[in-house]
Structure 1
């Protein structure tokens, strides 16, 4: 998984694009007469803020039925649920409205915004190609089930696989587990593989029994080898592999029902449409 320190590469790309948009907005304003560069830069940052709000609201509307079933998940922005198109439209609409009485600021603001959006789109596209080219496969790692039977992760190749790294002491792990349990029955064509990190079979078994959680695939990784091999930055981490065993997506942090369905529909759409029990 590609990251830059504690931040995902997607967040870094967004930050760089915003900085580029801010710099260009100020530069264009400085070259125009009677156009305050500082004010133009400030309006650009305001447009970014309202664009992010619009992106979140657009995503919530897209997956409204899932968020309505769990309203508090609407504020769980760590699920990565943002609609890029809604964000761009929201930011541009705000900039256009805000400059209705300040037409001199409209040109630098729109030029800077366009530069930011284009750089973000291009970098995101290149990142997608790089990730596809270097996508690691399901590792040849032997783990044990709760009943001590050994299993090699690569044996799941042949159908899409969702691998969740968790521990009973991890609050976001506990909160997202009902979502994964539900997905297990909704998407029978996808293997939901729960891999406990650093705990014993007794600890994992007691936790699952206490929380009344039932998973078809429960594996133990007491040494945390899978977490190290995949470069996971923390728990929970969810890894998405296609039927050929290639990593196509990953998520660090708590999954909501909406974000999980979104990821599955983007990568495994034909399968989820045909087999989901909605």
Structure 2
């Protein structure tokens, strides 16, 4: 399971753990500041906000070529384009700077920062462990061209990108041209599209519009594969090594930049 859902809302396990780490850090900083009778709330919230902005801007800078094509997409943080390490470095730098400026804040800010770093060092392997449970299903599937096969056979010994989608899903429709283009440009990767439509004709019509090869589309009308992949919402994209090891998961719509970033991870 790579995400949790509550109704129409979904959050990745890694994002949830990051939020928990931040809350733990804020709680410790507030406890220490309360004991020392120091007000630290505004400072900690500023540090968190600036760290988030830094994480986003660093990611945008790395993939600026993709974002520049549609500048307004820089503001659309729904694509999940953040560099967590850059955000942590920025946060630590701000803590050091504010502690140097205001010595009274050193104790609560240091305590909060150390709490976050310790919690995050535990959360990262925990998130990887949970995500690693999503194995590539070893089941027989049927492609839109009527062939019975398996995901392993479809991969042809290459790293595999699995995209779960439906024609009625707006973010699926928005990201599909990006995936089709990536499929054409990355011959060293295999793309498989797991369709979750109730109406095969609607799905086939949209696939033909996108010029998506029917041999790369797998039908999942009973949502069995969706459950096996641990997906809770559409779209969900999973990235596997050529050995079937899960490398990354993206919940929600992809932007050109986040797709490029995820594909780069597969080629390392």
**Same fold flag (TM > 0.5):** yes
1:106-185 to structure 2, matched below 5 A, reads: 106-129=106-129, 131-132=131-132, 134-136=133-135, 138-157=136-155, 158-185=157-184
Q: Which whole-Å deviations, capped at 9, do the CAs of 1:52-92 have from their partners, x for residues lacking one?
A: 11100111001111111232332232222111222123323
Matched, 1:24 2:28: yes
DSSP-derived class of the 2:219 partner = strand
8 Å CA contact retained: 2:3, 2:251: no
Q: Which whole-Å deviations, capped at 9, do the CAs of 1:141-199 have from their partners, x for residues lacking one?
A: 33322222222223134211101111111000000011101111221111011121133
8 Å CA contact retained: 1:198, 1:224: no
Q: Hey, what's the Cα distance between the residues in 2 that align with 1:248 and 1:167?
A: 23
Residue matched to 2:240: 241
Q: Which whole-Å deviations, capped at 9, do the CAs of 1:189-245 have from their partners, x for residues lacking one?
A: 1101112113344222211333x4334612222222211222210111111111112
Residue matched to 1:61: 61
Report the Cα offset of residue 98 of structure 1.
5.1
Query: Normalising to structure 2: TM-score of the pair?
Result: 0.87
DSSP-derived class of the 2:145 partner = coil
Residue matched to 1:87: 87
**What's the C-alpha RMSD, in Å, of the aligned pairs?**
2.2
Report the number of matched residues: 262
Query: Normalising to structure 1: TM-score of the pair?
Result: 0.85
